Structures are given as structure tokens and as C-alpha cells.
Amino acid sequence: MTRARRPLRAGRWIAPGYRVLEHLSRGKMLDVYDAWSEARDSRCVIKAIRPERVAEDKARRTLLREGILIRKLSHPHIVRCYEVVRTPDPLVILETVTGATLSHAIETNPSLELDDLAILGLHLCSAIGYLHRHTSFLHLDLKPSNVIAEQGRAKLIDFSHARRSGSGHRGKGTRQYLAPEQALGHRVTQATDVWGIGAVLFEAATGRRPFESCENGDYQQLTRPAASVRRYRRLPLEFTGAVDGCMETDPRNRPRVRELAKILNGLVNVA
């Protein structure tokens, strides 16, 4: 096993024109940096492969695929990609988003108001609907930590698990938020992202995840259906029914993104 190496320190140049300000986070494959762009005379966020993994073809392909996909997208509720650096090592240069993650917001306020829930859902439907219409990709990793709340606007980040519709994506994404078909490795479709929107709204409404990790590695969503939001909180039936519908075990029974957006739009500013 390759020994882990430390991320770059502040002041180091990660690429020509990009200087590290701070190391933000480290995942299994990537380091994320707050950096300064000389060309833009502003801060940016850089996703880079961890130093000890930079020679791995899979890691390089995965990061480049994510960057190339986001670079094609232009939407107010999707993080903007400025540039994809291919050589000598892949980098994805993203806009700096200054808000907190939705997961942090839920920790602070575990029961968002109905209006905020409806607007959050509309923003996610807008972003995911755009992704589905303009590419052949699905996000496949919708969860509160991948949503940034910035000045009342939700922005979707982290497209590292994005894939086209089809089979063979077993376990791709985050265990507690996987749709049953993802967990089983069955065909994933646009309905799989609808499940993800429902999971985010469930947690934002109740302060709890619809499913938790099992110690033995099993998936709770394969052993029981999702509980209704109504079990934990009294909200209008239109909202709880929509979220429950998103998390139907059979993807054929879930609403389409446009149908979900229409229901949520009717709940904005409802007293």
C-alpha cells in the first residue's frame, strides 16, 4: 500500500498561475484546495489528485471526467468550472462558493421551514433537470454535504460519481443515500436522481437521514422502505407525499423531476 503524503502547504504553486492558500479537505482520492488565481486575480477552489495517487490512471480519468462534465454546464444552481488542467497532472479549477453546506445548515437548524424546503427542492429540481436535459449524465450522489447554501440559493457540487444511465454502478455514491437500484447494481436512470432529491428533502425536513449505515455493510434501503416524513414532522400532505413518492422503492413509481417541481412550486409562500 502506498504511503500517504502530505498535501501542499500554503504558499506553494500547484500549477502555473495557481498558488495554494489553504488545504480544505482530503478524500480517498482527492485533495481540495483554496487557491489564488493570478489570471483572475481572485480565489478559486482546486480539486487535485492526492500526491501518492497521481500516477493512477483511474484517479486521473475520474477527475478529468468530472471536470469536463462540469465545464459544459452553465446553471445558477450548479458550481461553475473555470478550467480543466490536463498536464502534467489533472486539476479541476472551480469557483469559490462562500456559503455553508446544507448538512451544516441542518445541524444548526434541523427542521427548515416549509418555504425554505420548497425552494431548496425547486433549486435541486432545476439543477438536476438541466443536467438530465443537456447531458446524458446522472449526478448519483445527492446528499446535504453536496449542496451549498449561498445567499438563499442552493448550489450543487461534487460530480465525481456522475455517470450515464445504465448498469454496473453498484455502490457508486454515498451508502446512506443510495437508491435501491444503485445499491443492487441495477440500471440507474433519471428516477435515481429523483430518489436523491427526496433523500435530501427528507433530511432537511426532519433533521435525520432516511437510512443509516449497517455495521455489517448491508443497505437498510434494501430491507425496508423509507419512513414517511409525517412520522417525524407535521407538514402539508402535498410536501410529505411528494418526498415519500421520490423515495418509492420501485423507480417507476417515483415522480419525474418536472412533476416534483410543479408540486413544490405550489408550496412556496404557503402559510
**Per-residue pLDDT tens digits of the chain, which is 271 residues long:** 567 889 999 999 999 999 999 999 998 999 999 999 999 999 999 999 999 999 999 999 999 999 999 999 999 999 999 999 999 999 999 999 988 999 999 998 877 899 999 999 999 999 999 999 999 899 999 999 999 998 889 999 999 999 998 876 666 788 889 999 998 989 999 999 999 999 999 999 999 999 887 656 678 888 889 999 999 999 999 999 999 999 999 999 999 999 999 999 999 975 4
Dist CA 29 CA 127 (whole Å)? 26
- CB 170 within 8 Å of CB 183: yes
267: its cell numbers: 408550496
232-265 per-position pLDDT tens digit: 999 999 999 999 999 999 999 999 999 999 999 9
Dist CA 209 CA 176 (whole Å)? 8
Dist CA 212 CA 176 (whole Å)? 5
219: its cell numbers: 443497505
User: Other CB atoms closer than 10 Å to residue 250's CB: what's the count?
Assistant: 9
101: its cell numbers: 453546506
Dist CA 208 CA 118 (whole Å)? 18
What are the residues facing 163 on neighbouring strands? Answer: 138
- CB 247 within 8 Å of CB 210: yes
Domains in the chain: ranges and CATH: 13-94 (3.30.200.20), 100-265 (1.10.510.10)
Q: Which of 146, 262, 240, 150 is nearest to 193 (CA)?
A: 146
Whole-structure pTM value = 0.93
- CB 198 within 8 Å of CB 125: no
What are the residues facing 156 on neighbouring strands? Answer: 78, 147
